[in-house]
Structure 1
Amino acid sequence: MEDTTYTKGIYTATIGVRATDSGQFQGLVSLSRDDGEADEATVYEVESASENEAEALDEARALAHRILGEIEL
């Protein structure tokens, strides 16, 4: 599956999903900044786990939009 990314200015949010030990799924957002310096990303986790990958991906997508929406350029 290809990574889904969202950008705002020099920021890029990449969403993903990981399986938890309890058999559920958790959405993840990796936020990176492309300012010509070291490529360091911050990983954010969706607070709640989901029953399936599709729901977790939707939650990650919503989190990415919230994070990017709060960034002031």
Structure 2
Amino acid sequence: MDDTTYTKGLYTATIGVRAIDGGQFQGLVSLARDDGEATDATIYEVEATSQNEDEALEEARALAHRILGEIEL
């Protein structure tokens, strides 16, 4: 699966999913700031777990939109 990214100004959020114990999945968001120097990324985890990868990806997408929506340029 290709990485899905969302951008706002200098910030890029990349969403993903990881498998966790018990056959559950958790959505992840990697938020990076590209200011021309070294790029550091912060990883955010969706609090809830999901039964399948698609649900976890939707949760990660929603989290990415919330995070980017809170950033003031």
TM over 0.5: yes
Superposition TM-score, scaled by structure 1 size: 0.98
- Which TM-score applies when normalising by structure 2? 0.98
Tell me the secondary structure at the aligned position of residue 22 of structure 1: helix
Runs of at least 4 residues of structure 1 off by over 2 A?
A: none
How far the C-alpha of 1:21 sits from its partner, in A, is 1.4
> What RMSD over aligned residues (CA atoms) do the two structures have, in Å?
0.5
Counterpart for residue 37 of structure 1: 37
User: What are the superposed Cα offsets for residues 25-57 of structure 1, whole Å, 9 maximum, x if unpaired?
Assistant: 000000000101211100000000000000000
Gaps of at least 5 residues in structure 2 are none
Tell me the amino acid that sits aligned with residue 20 of structure 2: T
Match of residue 20 from structure 2: 20
Number of equivalent positions: 73
Instruction: Write 1 or 2 for the structure with the bigger share of helix.
Output: 2
How far 1:17 sits from its partner (Å)? 0.1
Task: Give the aligned partner of residue 4 of structure 2.
Answer: 4
Which residue of 2 is the match for residue 65 of structure 1? 65
